[in-house]
Amino acid sequence: MSATVNPCLWFDGQAQEAAGFYASVFPDAVIVGDAGIMVTLRVADLELSLLNGGPEFKINPAMSFFYSCASAAEVDRLWALLAPGGAEMIPLGTYPFARRYGWTADKFGVNWQLILHDQEPKQRAYPSLMFTGANCGRAEEAMSFYASVFEDAAIGDISRYGPGMEPDREGAVNYSQFRLGGRWLAAMDSARPHDFAFSEADSLIVTCDDQAQIDRFWARLSAGGSESQCGWLKDKFGLSWQVVPRVLGELMSDPERARRVMPALLKMGKLDIATLEAQ
């Protein structure tokens, strides 16, 4: 079975509140799991993990989420629910690439790109990565690298900035799509001045079936980056990943066993399935 890829957002004790908010906003959103420290939410065809991680990291626009609407009225309705208490990135309106579109951060800092597509999208909801600062111009390189790491991978359409499209850089990627582990994502470069970049607040979870998969993804994704604890790493572009075994959810679902597993997990960098199962 191929490893799966799903985004994870870091909250300071607000994961349950945020999950409930999104379940009330999106017509196809449902909470599918709540382990206390982690809430799993499904929005259309996107599985999203909300982590109660603490105050160390803040969600920012380096990772945003596209949501494809069925009508202009739905774009406007969702905007009216998501925008209050947040921050507007791109005003709601009509653009050459969409009949109705807007980008806003919500009251939790999570960024949403609401769009009415002319054609049926590959997925209704999917994450988008923005490459800023020193990483601007590396979106295409990153997509190619990620596609080389995952078996079920592909690179889709790529649109570039053309002459006079200032202040962004000619030839850089202004929108692209790629598939990892059966999930579609988007990527873009931005040469505009930003005070944010990838951080642990916005990560991608790679769920593996066995130790061989964990070993391979850990080695490939951490190359040129850095290793951390509890299965976390940063790749050479600064994007954070969590490489975890599929069995971890089962181990943590039993509170008594979770109390034994957690101390072992906290001592690990790369996760070892046999050690976790022995707890």
68-123 per-position pLDDT tens digit:
999 999 999 999 999 999 999 999 999 999 999 999 999 999 999 999 988 788 89
Supply the angle between the helices 139-149 and 211-222 in degrees, to the nearest 10. 160
Question: How far, in Å, are 208, 209, 212, 231 from residue 219 at the CA level?
Answer: 14, 16, 11, 12
Domains belonging to the chain, first-starting first, are 4-189 (3.10.180.10)
**How much is the pLDDT for 166?**
66
**How much is the pLDDT for 1?**
63
Q: Is the pTM of this model over 0.85?
A: yes
Report CA Rg, the chain: 19
pLDDT along the chain (279 residues), means of 10: 91 97 97 92 96 96 97 98 97 94 98 91 94 95 97 93 81 94 94 94 96 97 96 98 93 84 92 93
Burial grade of 157 (CB within 10 A; 0-12, 13-18, 19 or more): exposed
**How much is the pLDDT for 169?**
84
